[in-house]
Structure 1
Amino acid sequence: MSLSTNLLQQMTIFVTLVTGGGCGVMYYLMQKNFAKSEYYHLAIEQLNENATAMASLGAPPLKIHNIHLTDHHNRVDHTKAQLKIPVTGQKTGGYLYTTSTRDTLMNRWCLQRVALQLKDGEIVDIYPKAEWK
């Protein structure tokens, strides 16, 4: 049974489009799951409450970008979540680094560290908050 070259080209285009669309949907759903997670929200809340970090970014408005899924800083398992979240304000941008651990007894995530690294290299420690002496 011989297939024409035209039919093979059409099949190739169709399979390519379906595969590309599936990858796009999967990427969107993964980003949505990150944005809905408790460890993600806790870190963003800490950033929003830190006046120094927000002023350094030139926020509000604060823009939170998609996580780079291939970045080795982004790791999540059942007990630990480590993220590198790209953020920008009107002045500059940077990355919000966050580490959280899961409390299995309470079934919730607890922040361990949140820090903002600006594009110029400056690091603003957000959580845990520095104790005033």
Structure 2
Amino acid sequence: MRITNRHLKKFAVVVTLVYGAEFGALYYVLQKEYTESGCKRRALQKLEACTAAVESLGGPPLKVYSLNLIDKYNRLHQDTAQVKIPVAGSKTNGYLYTSAVKDPYKNRWSLRHAVLKLKEGQVFTLLSPYPAAKAQSQAPEHVKGIDTGHW
């Protein structure tokens, strides 16, 4: 049986379409899992409770965009989560950096820290796991500034 270039091209197109559809479906499922996680919801509630941060963004209302699943900062495991949520208002945009742990008995997420960093460089600490007086001297690197991917 002889296989021509024409048949190989058709086969390559079909395989590309099938894998592209599978990748799209997987991306959608993962995006939905992140969106529905209690971690993201609690972080956004914390942001909305900080009027200074919301006003700096130019809200309400705030726009919350899909997570970049390729970004190395975003990690969602069974009992820990680290999420970088893109948010925007009418004035500016930024990222809400959060980390959380899940209580296996209550099946609920508890935020460990939440920090909003605006495009202009302004930073709002919405939740810090350390008291304010000790935060600068004893906090790990991800609390002192914005975590750049080291957890």
Calculate the TM-score normalised by the size of structure 1: 0.90
Query: Structure 2: how far apart are the matches of 1:86 and 1:70?
Result: 14
Q: Which residue of 2 aligns with 1:51?
A: 51
Query: Structure 2: how far apart are the matches of 1:21 and 1:106?
Result: 36
Q: The residue matched to 1:73 in structure 2 has which SS?
A: coil
Query: Structure 2: how far apart are the matches of 1:61 and 1:18?
Result: 39
Note the 1:1-133 alignment, pairs <5 A: 1-128=1-128
1:113 partner amino acid: H
Query: Structure 1: how far apart are the matches of 2:124 and 2:2?
Result: 66
Query: Structure 2: how far apart are the matches of 1:26 and 1:80?
Result: 21
Shift of 1:30: 0.8
- String of CA shifts for 1:37-96, please: whole Å, max 9, x gaps: 111111111112221111011012211111111222112222211111111111100000
**Any unmatched runs of 5+ in structure 2?**
133-151
Q: How many residues align?
A: 131
Q: Which residue of 1 aligns with 2:142?
A: none
Q: Which residue of 1 aligns with 2:145?
A: none
Shift of 1:105: 3.0
Identity level (%): 38
2:17 partner amino acid: L
Name the Cα RMSD after superposition: 1.8
Calculate the TM-score normalised by the size of structure 2: 0.80
The question of whether the paired residues in 1 share the 8 Å contact of 2:83 and 2:98 is answered with: yes
2:125 partner amino acid: D
Query: Structure 2: how far apart are the matches of 1:81 and 1:90?
Result: 29
Q: The residue matched to 2:21 in structure 1 has which SS?
A: helix
**Any unmatched runs of 5+ in structure 1?**
none
Query: Structure 1: how far apart are the matches of 2:104 and 2:17?
Result: 42
2:70 partner amino acid: T
